[in-house]
Structure 1
Amino acid sequence: MLVKEWAEREHLHPQTVWKWCRQGTMPVPVERTPSGMWLIHDPKYETMPQSKSMESRTVCYARVSSGDQRNDLRRQADRLKAFALGMGVEKPEVVTETGSGMNDRRRKLNRLLSDPTVGTLIVEHRDRLARMNAGLVESALKAQGRRIVVVDDTELDDDLVRDMSEVLTSLCARLYGRRAAKRKTDAALKAARDA
């Protein structure tokens, strides 16, 4: 546990705790990492994460880009729930969200990622989690002992073209507005194909 976190729990000032660590007068065991950070090993707080890991939840996360795709969202959620039941999850929790895969301010997904009780996150395709850098999210969760299960992990041959069109669509939408974005993306793709 970090010094600041332990100090808050014990209602002490962090500077006092750092001073005790340096002087060797801490009432609980401490450890100094090679990078110089102090870690506090208080037995009364270290038993809590183990009990939380036993309460690990499995959550299905379904996402679509726009409100027009509500029916797709419902079908996606049903498929994820069926997959979770097939995995042996008794009562799978389903979280649905509407928002761009390029947007990192998706409240429901951020809430799931920051919740330590969510041990397994099930998504239909990797791009439902994030359009780009989903591997980074997966690595961070893996380091915490959590995991992401991708139902359909097949990669398409035209993956690079699809990614490029998504990036262009997103950038055009920001620059020119939503309606003109598709036209400008199609024109840019046509120009790229013709070149």
Structure 2
Amino acid sequence: MKLSQYARNEGITYKGAYLRWKKGRIPGAYLDGTGHVVVPDPKVENLRNAAVYARVSTNRQKEDLERQAERMAAFANAAGYRVVKVVKEVGSGVNDHRVKLTRLLESDEWGTLVVEHKDRLTRVGFEWFAS
């Protein structure tokens, strides 16, 4: 985004934003080829951060859980995402009180959720999550 948009978002003047940039206080900001200061949009950057959610139904499937998480992390990395969180959980897909999934969904450190199949996330009501 332009420095002027950054200033509006931060509730400061353009000059204040410019001074922040000159002092190196805006992470990732740079001068483009046309002489404009460009500030990375945190919303767009957050979309590149991925969380991996792996789930199996029983403790007997723990080895499957590990392999599932590894496959999804490898997939996300190959697709250009930065995996910032991997959550592994044992529990039924119809159980809507999965603590690890709830914590993951409440987190704001990722913008893309990677699951092997939609039934790993939930058995019913997947439409609520689909974009």
Please name the residue that 1:60 is paired with: 52
Q: How far has the Cα of 1:110 moved from its partner?
A: 1.1
Which structure has the greater CA radius of gyration? 1
Deviations 1:52-94 (A, max 9, x none): 5255121111000111110010110111111112102244532
TM-score w.r.t. length of structure 1: 0.43
Matches for 1:1-195 after TM superposition, within 5 Å: 44=11, 52-56=42-46, 57-138=49-130, 142=131
RMSD (Å) for aligned C-alpha atoms: 2.3
Please list every run of 5 or more consecutive structure 1 residues that lacks an aligned counterpart in the other structure: 1-41, 45-49, 143-195
Which of the pair has the greater relative contact order for Cα pairs under 8 Å at 6+ separation? 2
Cα distance in 2, alignment partners of residues 90 and 125 from structure 1: 20
SS of aligned partner of 1:75:
helix
SS of aligned partner of 2:93:
coil
Write out the 4+ residue segments of structure 1 that deviate beyond 3 Å after TM superposition. none
Please list every run of 5 or more consecutive structure 2 residues that lacks an aligned counterpart in the other structure: 1-8, 12-39
Give the number of aligned pairs: 93
Higher-helix-fraction structure:
1
| Aligned-pair identity (%) | 44
